[in-house]
Amino acid sequence: MKTSNLAERKGDRTMKRQEFIDWAMSLGYKDFSHSLSKKLVLKKSKDDTSRYTVSDRNVRREKQIVMSDGRKEWVRIRRGYLKNLSINEEGKLAGMTR
């Protein structure tokens, strides 16, 4: 009994991948993934310099920076496992770590 209770409580806190996608889309993010990629890339526009990448288990918040030689690279700002993420009362994402 105790283990099933624990599993039910943990299940209540676990964010599903589709819930995260729906939340991001409600804020104006769109899918900019490559068709062969397993990861979903969410940005507000094609030229946006920040994005979310979503895999089966985790989410990364990334920012594009320009290197001294002119190359553009994506760097991780925050990350989190979907099981640790939630949307608070204000509609903001909680549970991301550095």
Determine the structural domain holding residue 35 and report its residue range.
2-94
pLDDT at res. 61 = 96
Provide the token pair at 3: 């283990």
Say if pTM beats, i.e. exceeds, 0.85: no
| Tens-place pLDDT, residues 48-87 | 999 999 999 999 999 999 999 999 999 999 999 999 999 8
| Tens-place pLDDT, residues 11-36 | 445 789 999 999 999 999 999 988 77
Q: How many domains does the chain have?
A: 1
Provide the token pair at 35: 């068709």
Contact 29, 42 (CB under 8 A): yes
